Each structure stands twice: as structure tokens, then as C-alpha cells.
Amino acid sequence: MKVFAGFVVAVSAISNRIEEKNAWPGNDNARYCGCNFVLDPEVHAGPAGTYINSTCTLSFPFAPEDPHFVSVASAYVLGRDRITPGNDVFKFTGFDQVSNPDVLDILVFYEPQDCLKPGRTLQDIDDLKEQGRDSEIWEVFQNDTSSMCEIDLKCFNEPGDQPPPGVYLGNFNYDIARSVQTYTVPVYGLEQAETVTFEIVDYNNKDNWCHNATSHEGHGLVLPGSCSPSNETCGNKITYQQNEEHFGLLEYFQFEPVSPVNSPGCWDSPLHKLHEYKWQTPSPWDTQENFVQPPRDN
């Protein structure tokens, strides 16, 4: 399932109000259960009725733990407030000309262990396989994950509100079905030739080693030394410089997480079995929360 940060291709909410909520359980081939919401901001964006130039908060009050991954398409991240598992607050906004004002498209995945029935473990799946009882594996997973997909969403703004000044990340777009990821990162708010440094962290707010950071053609420059330049040097910092000849609203760069393939020297989780190949997903929410806005004269 591909996640996009740009405009959502959808019927305009002005002529056809959108209302979709889907939840899916985990299974042995796709262990990350999750949910997708396609919502009308006028109905669901709280007092503001829009997420454009608003401060929006999103949480999952009935989830046992916070999600493995959260995406709000075409929105931009303001940060994350850590409270208690399942009640952490993901903060975002939208910007004129780069965010779709008619649709809130939210995609969520949970960790495999959070997709199991109470009292069951991932080891139960291995045990059933070793016993030749593959037909019983489905019983390990929850059949109904709808409670994990209940959200608390609020947006606030004041008349005449303007976009918050500063630099803001969009979604780290990726395909959860792929074993080797390339994350595409939109960046909003950079001034001409401005240089910023992002420290990539995961959803547990831990340093997330990265590899092969590159810029998109015409959008700027990832400076040398970003991420892990060699297997002996592991890093999570990406330093990016805006292309002063590019006058678009958005810049883009991309990176890969370290893996046994692209950076074995920085991979600290030995691969025992195919299904144990796993990684911590980098988090734009926590990365933005930790980001230090550059000082500006204006």
C-alpha cells in the first residue's frame, strides 16, 4: 500500500461529502493491522472545520499502544506530545496550495504484537507452524480491530490565522509491504539557500540510523556526511540545503533505513529467520518535535 504526502486524488468534498472508515486485522502474511479514514474536514476537523492553517491534534484513545506508523496525507507535522501509550498526541497542520482542503486521509498501522488476541504472542504462530497447524494461525489474531481505529481529532484556528512560520516535515512516505524502504520526505517553509539539520528518530524517539540520503533533482542538496556514510560510521543526522534557484513551496529529499543489505555494520538486530527481519520505522512526528527551528532575522 503506497502512501503519498501530496494531494489526495478524491472527489471534491464540496460536491460529494466523503466519509470512509476501514479497519483490517493482521494475518500471518501481513501482520500489521491498521485502519484508514477518509474524512470531510468540515465535519471532523473540530471547531475549525478545516486543517488548513489550523493546529490539529490526533490521538487513539482506545489503542493498547501507540501506532507503528501514522500518516495524514498532504498535511505537515507540528510535532508530538507524549502522554501515555495510546493517548500520545500527533500534531499537524495544512498549508494553502500544497494541502488538499477537502479531505483528511489518515492511515495507521499497529505493531504485530498489538494485532493479536489478548494472551497470544507471536511465538504462538511459530509453534503452530512447527506443529503443522498453519490453518489455526488466524485464531491468534484479533478479528475485530475497530476499537483501535477510534480517533480523537480536533483542529483549532482563529480568524485570519496564517501558516506557522518555520520549517515543517511532511509524511515520511513509504510502502510497508517492501522489505527495503526508501522514505521520501517533503519539507515546507525553507528560505532561499537555507540549511537545516534533521535528526531522524523512530516512533520510540530513539535515534534511527539512516543510509543513502539524497536530494530530489532541482530541490536542493543533501550535504556530505549525512546519515551513515560508511558501515563503520553510523548516523541519523541529515543536513539539507535549499536550492536558491528553486522557488517552489516544497523541497524533497529521501533516505533509506539501515539494513543487513545496505549497511550491515550499522545493523544491530541479527537476522535469524525471514519473518524476524524488522526495523523501527522513522517518525516525522518525533523528528519534527526534536527539530530546532533555525533563527531568522524577520
Cα–Cα distances (Å) from 27 to 2, 105, 240, in that order, read 19, 24, 39
Alpha-carbon 142 to chain mean position: 24
User: Computed from CA positions of residues 120, 126, 131, 136, in that sequence, does the dihedral angle turn out positive or negative?
Assistant: positive
pLDDT for residue 18: 67
Query: Mind listing the pLDDT tens digit for each residue in 53-98?
Result: 999 999 999 888 899 999 999 999 999 999 887 789 999 999 998 9
Q: Helix (H, G, I), strand (E, B), or coil: what is residue 276? A: helix
Cell 531522524 -> residue:
200
Q: Helix (H, G, I), strand (E, B), or coil: what is residue 279? A: coil
For the entire predicted model, the pTM comes to 0.86
Name the least confident of 4-13, 152-161, 279-288. 4-13
Q: Among the residues of the chain, which ranges form H helices?
A: 41-44, 122-130, 284-290
pLDDT for residue 12: 39
Query: Mind listing the pLDDT tens digit for each residue in 172-214?
Result: 876 555 556 789 999 999 998 999 999 999 999 999 999 889 9
Q: Helix (H, G, I), strand (E, B), or coil: what is residue 19? A: strand
Question: What's the CA gap between 253 and 277, in Å, rounded?
Answer: 26
Report, as an integer, the average pLDDT of 102-115.
93
**Is it the case that residue 3 has pLDDT exceeding 70?**
no
Report, as an integer, the average pLDDT of 116-127.
94
pLDDT for residue 5: 39
Higher pLDDT, 147 or 2: 147
Report, as an integer, the average pLDDT of 4-9.
38
Cα–Cα distances (Å) from 35 to 68, 108, 178, 193, 206, in that order, read 12, 5, 19, 39, 25
pLDDT for residue 7: 36
Q: What's the chain's average pLDDT?
A: 84
Report, as an integer, the average pLDDT of 211-237.
86
pLDDT for residue 153: 93
**Is it the case that residue 1 has pLDDT exceeding 60?**
no
**Is it the case that residue 8 has pLDDT exceeding 80?**
no
Residue 77 and residue 288 in contact, taking contact as beta carbons nearer than 8 Å: yes
